[in-house]
């Protein structure tokens, strides 16, 4: 209500808020709300611009850290620029992985399948792609071992999806590492591949299994998964 007892219209209300904020601002500057900071803020009980920028940088570093710590410690060294990575998986695989990273980033491709025998460098290559994405701001990316996905599912309470699966579904980029290593929960891994494919969410799968092994229903995945991972995906074969 205004002074005449009539309801205030919305424009008048917004204008009065603007005027009162202006008045507060004009009365400044105010001391920065952070203890021991000599800076000046434009509004009372707020931070100075330097402190706001510092808080934003800290929050960004935190989100980046959450993504990177999901990569197992033994794989965190893997970067595109690392000579050791080229030595491990070969120049050709590395250049394919760089191209895959570019296509994921631009949205041209959403599934990358990295196959090869144990120790060939599949997981390191996937870690390098993911690190590159995190560096470009994809902080909600997650690196999950298939075995851990299966185990989390087995240990979850009835009717409650484990946190690891919630993260896996919503990750900007999801790496499912070592598919085929999980003793239980292959149906969960299969479902994750389907869900992410349906949504067009970028997914990298590393596996020692061949396309025909994955297509074989007896191994717990089936033809649908095999087609998503091979026919409509970037395939990188590491080693022999």
In this structure, the number of other CB atoms found within 10 A of the CB of residue 210 comes to: 12
Residue 136: strand, helix, or coil: coil
Q: How far is the CB of 29 from Zn ion (least distance, A)?
A: 11
Helices 49-69 and 122-135, interaxial angle, to 10°?
170
In whole angstroms, how close is the CB of 96 to Zn ion at the nearest point?
Answer: 48
- Minimum CB separation of residue 53 from Zn ion in Å reads 10
DSSP assignment of 75-106, as one string?
Answer: GTT--TT-HHHHHHH-HHHHHHHHHHHHHHHH
Both tokens assigned to 44: 């009372």
Residues near Zn ion (CB under 5 A) are: 32, 34, 37, 39, 48, 51
Of 30 and 80, nearer to Zn ion (C-beta) is 30
Q: Nearer Cβ to Zn ion, position 37 or 184?
A: 37
- When the beta carbons of 53 and 108 are compared against Zn ion, the nearer one is 53
CB of 59 to Zn ion, least distance (A): 16
Q: Which is nearer to Zn ion, 1 or 58 (CB)?
A: 58
Among the residues of the chain, which ranges form H helices?
10-27, 49-69, 83-89, 91-106, 122-135, 146-155, 163-170, 186-199, 211-215, 223-226
CB of 57 to Zn ion, least distance (A): 14
Nearer Cβ to Zn ion, position 39 or 161?
Answer: 39
Rounded to 5 degrees, φ, ψ at 207 are -160, 150
């Amino acid at each position: 209500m205004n002074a005449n007892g009539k309801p205030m219209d919305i424009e008048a209300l917004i204008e009065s808020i603007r005027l009162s904020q202006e008045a507060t601002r004009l009365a400044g500057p105010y001391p920065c709300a952070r203890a021991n900071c000599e800076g000046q803020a434009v509004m009372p009980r707020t931070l100075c611009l330097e402190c706001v920028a510092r808080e934003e940088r800290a929050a960004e570093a935190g989100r980046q850290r959450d993504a990177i710590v999901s990569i197992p410690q033994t794989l965190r060294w893997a970067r595109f620029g690392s000579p050791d990575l080229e030595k491990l998986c070969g120049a050709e695989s590395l250049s394919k992985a760089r191209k895959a990273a570019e296509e994921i980033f631009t949205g041209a491709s959403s599934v990358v399948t990295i196959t090869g025998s144990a120790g060939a460098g599949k997981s390191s290559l996937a870690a390098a792609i993911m690190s590159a994405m995190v560096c470009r701001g994809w902080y909600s990316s997650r690196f999950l071992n298939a075995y851990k996905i299966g185990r989390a599912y087995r240990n979850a309470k009835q009717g409650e999806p484990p946190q690891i699966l919630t993260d896996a579904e919503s990750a900007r980029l999801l790496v499912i590492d070592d598919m085929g290593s999980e003793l239980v929960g292959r149906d969960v891994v299969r479902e994750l591949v389907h869900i992410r494919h349906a949504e067009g969410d970028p997914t990298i799968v590393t596996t020692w299994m061949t396309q025909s092994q994955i297509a074989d229903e007896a191994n717990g995945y089936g033809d649908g998964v095999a087609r998503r991972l091979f026919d409509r995906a970037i395939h990188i074969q590491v080693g022999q």
